[in-house]
Amino acid sequence: MSRTELAAVEQTPTGANAHRLIVVIRYATKLTAS
């Protein structure tokens, strides 16, 4: 995801929440993978 897309997504509250959720999921899967 480019910076422009990220900025556009974060302009909407739902988008910002979804982005945080993705980060949390990635972090969680990293922990379970290793």
- Distance, in Å, from the CA atom of 3 to the CA atom of 20, rounded to the nearest integer, reads 15
Query: Measuring CA to CA, how many Å separate 19 from each of 4, 9, 31?
Result: 14, 8, 19
* Statement: the pTM of the whole predicted model exceeds 0.85: no
pLDDT at 10: 65
pLDDT, tens digit, for every residue of 1-34?
Answer: 688 887 776 677 787 788 888 999 999 899 888 6
Print the domain residue range for 24: 3-33
Query: What is the total count of domains within the chain?
Result: 1
pLDDT at 1: 63
By the 8 A CB rule, do 25 and 31 touch? no
